[in-house]
Amino acid sequence: MDQAQGLRLIKQDRPAAPGYRTVNGAEPGGSPKPGRNPLVLAISSGKGGVGKTNVVANLGLALARQGKRILVLDADLGLANIDILLGLTPRFTLEHFLAGHKKLQDILLPGPEGLLILPAGSGVPELVDLDETQKICLLNEMDQLSQHIDWLLIDTGAGISTNVLYFNLAAQESIILVTPEPTSITDAYALIKILATRHQKKNFLILINAAAEEGEAKEVFRKISLVADRFLSSVSLDYLGFIPFDKHIPMAVKKQQALLELFPHSPAGKSFTDLSRLLTDRPFRNRNEGNVQFFWKQVWQVSNINVSA
Ligand SMILES: Nc1ncnc2c1ncn2[C@@H]1O[C@H](COP(=O)(O)OP(=O)(O)O)[C@@H](O)[C@H]1O
Ligand SMILES: [Mg+2]
């Protein structure tokens, strides 16, 4: 599949899984209606290399298998990007769109199971500094695109860079990914602390990756919760679950194919499927506030605040 097929793909309604209801309550298979509100979920971590890209790719796939239409914004400027992980080669990125050379639909990269990827390239650092024309174009095209998606997943990258903060502040929900390594735990806490104390973000979903078993995952969560309860008033951390350490993940990475395609019944594969069910059953807060236009407006609004203050 090439990028040109992105447009054609989003023009077709994907077949719905049993029990699937669209976000705005439209009948499955019905034509998309304007004004629907895709859920915007940021996936972040304090420390790099803890598994964000693998989580975004496989969670995206698991959600797509449930009939959800998923757009992934690859906003991580770090090392391994989602296109590499899935063996895809983007010819165009957000940079081409921002330069006015391509429409947003033309840069969408079709992945497995109808997953759509918006490769940011090195366009992301400029997102907060766009001129008015670029902003209006992005808002309009995003709005059209949002009629064809149910969930926008953002791989924000790691740390406390301004991009990570903007995307977390603008998203309706933030998943903070943590592994049992002490450095991952302290860095996750540092990210939560900055978002909470400087930017009044209060709610976080905590997902533990690469845990040996559930007991270890819960212990990691307990550690973060203890410190947060003690030092960060009114912050609410929700335990979302855990993805086990699983050798099938690096095996899939080496083959540049998604774990859920290659090893759907592996321990990690099953937990991605379980996680996607948990998320689709979850009543999200602020569900009606957000749409993708709203999301970008928030990004630009929060970008005016001084994050280094
Ligand atoms: N649950 C897991 N079990 C085993 N290895 C994992 C697991 N999650 C991630 N990895 C490995 O960790 C490395 C980093 O993962 P990646 O998704 O690129 O992290 P990030 O996006 O946070 O930088 C990859 O080589 C991947 O194979
Ligand atoms: Mg990554």
* Mean pLDDT across 283-304: 67
246 lines ligand 1 (CB under 6 A): yes
**Residue 143, pLDDT above cutoff 80:** no
Which-ligand-closest: CA of 255? 1
Confidence bin at 200 (pLDDT 50/70/90): confident
Q: Which two tokens stand for residue 217?
A: 């995952």
266 lines ligand 1 (CB under 6 A): no
Residue 181 lies in a domain: yes
Residue 98 lies in a domain: yes
280 lines ligand 1 (CB under 6 A): no
Residue 60 lies in a domain: yes
Residue 20 lies in a domain: no
The residue among 175, 85, 81 whose CA lies nearest residue 120 is 81
**Helices 52-65 & 267-281, crossing angle to 10 degrees?**
60
291: CB partners within 8 A, 6+ apart = 35, 36, 37, 38, 143, 146
Question: What does the pLDDT look like over 252-284, one tens digit per residue?
Answer: 999 999 999 999 999 999 999 999 999 999 887
Structural domain that includes position 44: 34-302
CA distances from 45 to 21, 186, 240, 285 (A): 31, 11, 14, 21
54 lines ligand 1 (CB under 6 A): yes
Number of structural domains in the chain: 1
> Ligand 1 centre from 301 Cα, in Å?
32
49 lines ligand 1 (CB under 6 A): yes
pTM (2 decimals)?
0.85
Cα(203)–Cα(102) distance, integer angstroms: 37
Q: Which of 191, 209, 253 to mutate to test the pocket of ligand 1 (most atoms within 8 A of CB)?
A: 253
Ligand 1 atom with the shortest distance to the CA of 177: 22
CA distances from 308 to 24, 90, 119, 126, 235 (A): 39, 34, 27, 18, 21
> Ligand 1 centre from 164 Cα, in Å?
19
Question: What does the pLDDT look like over 179-191, one tens digit per residue?
Answer: 999 999 999 999 9
Query: Ligand 2 (ion): which residues have CB within 5 A?
Result: 52-53, 76
The residue among 240, 195, 235 whose CA lies nearest residue 220 is 240
Ligand 1 atom with the shortest distance to the CA of 247: 4
Residue 14 lies in a domain: no
DSSP 13: P
φ, ψ of residue 119 to 5 degrees: the values are -75, 125
51 lines ligand 1 (CB under 6 A): yes
Q: Which two tokens stand for residue 46?
A: 């304090």
Ligand 1 atom with the shortest distance to the CA of 268: 1
Structural contact between residues 248 and 269, judged by C-beta atoms closer than 8 angstroms: yes
140: CB partners within 8 A, 6+ apart = none
Residue 17 lies in a domain: no
Residue 5 lies in a domain: no
Amino acid residing at 32? P
> Ligand 1 centre from 208 Cα, in Å?
12
CATH code at position 238: 3.40.50.300
Task: State the average pLDDT for the chain.
Answer: 83
**pLDDT score at 199:** 87
Residue 11 lies in a domain: no
Question: What does the pLDDT look like over 14-45, one tens digit per residue?
Answer: 433 333 232 233 333 334 444 467 888 999 99
268 lines ligand 1 (CB under 6 A): yes
Structural contact between residues 52 and 158, judged by C-beta atoms closer than 8 angstroms: yes
Confidence bin at 302 (pLDDT 50/70/90): low
Ligand 1 atom with the shortest distance to the CA of 243: 1
50 lines ligand 1 (CB under 6 A): yes
